[in-house]
């Protein structure tokens, strides 16, 4: 399948990422940290909601492979390896084997677990 590209433009630079390269994005106020499958971390001057809108607009085919979890995270569903709602743990794994352990609300992770259970059936 052809890659869908996410292009983030500011007045000073341009960042282009293949949608499947984005493992997760984490909000930090008016900034968002993008964590890529290569291990790179990029901080962009976008709020997470703005990034969410960009993903939906620029990569409509790939967008449904991403899930917004609460106010702070956007996660690539294909990278989800382990969910433990009662401990609030979400573990992601890239194809290269890099692991990322994130925390999120138990309710949100419970909803994510249920959704992925339904999709697995």
Partner 1 sequence: MKEIDDNEIRIIGKPTPRSGSWYVRLAWVLVCVVVVVAALALWIKTGGSFEVREGSACDSGVRELPAREGSPADESVIVIDTVVDDVPLTLYMLDCLLPDCSRASLQLGLPAADSSLLLAVMAADVRADNGDIVGDFVIDGRQLARGERKEGYCAILDGVPLLGRGGKPFLQQALDEEGCFFRQYILVDEGKALPPKPKGKNHRRALCRMGHTLFVAASVDRESYHDFATALADLWVDEAVALVGSESLLIYRAEGGLLHTVGSAFDSPNANFLVWRR
- Using CB under 8 A as the criterion, which residues of the chain lie in contact with partner 1 when the complex forms? 49, 52-53, 55-56, 59-60, 63-64, 66-72, 74, 104-105, 107-108, 111-112, 115
Per the DSSP assignment, residues forming a β-bridge with 32 are: 27, 44
Minimum CB distance to partner 1 smaller for 23 or for 55: 55
State residue 45 phi and psi, 5-degree precision: -85, 60
Q: How far is the CB of 72 from partner 1 (least distance, A)?
A: 8
Minimum CB distance to partner 1 smaller for 44 or for 66: 66
Minimum CB distance to partner 1 smaller for 4 or for 33: 4
Query: Distance (Å, rounded) from C-alpha 87 to C-alpha 38?
Result: 28
Q: Which two tokens stand for residue 118?
A: 């339904």
Q: How far is the CB of 97 from partner 1 (least distance, A)?
A: 25
Minimum CB distance to partner 1 smaller for 37 or for 111: 111
State residue 63 phi and psi, 5-degree precision: -60, -35
Collapsed DSSP state (helix, strand, coil) of residue 113: helix
Query: Distance (Å, rounded) from C-alpha 100 to C-alpha 11?
Result: 31
């Amino acid at each position: 399948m052809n890659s869908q590209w996410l292009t983030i433009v500011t007045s000073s630079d341009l960042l282009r990422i293949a949608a499947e390269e984005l493992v997760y994005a984490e909000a930090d106020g008016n900034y968002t940290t993008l964590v890529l499958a290569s291990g790179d971390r990029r901080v962009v001057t976008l709020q997470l909601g703005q990034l969410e809108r960009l993903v939906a607009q620029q990569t409509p085919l790939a967008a449904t492979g991403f899930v917004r979890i609460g106010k702070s995270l956007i996660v690539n569903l294909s990278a989800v390896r382990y969910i433990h709602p009662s401990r609030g743990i979400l573990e992601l794994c890239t194809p290269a084997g890099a692991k990322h352990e994130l925390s999120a609300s138990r309710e949100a992770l419970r909803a994510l677990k249920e959704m992925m259970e339904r999709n697995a059936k």
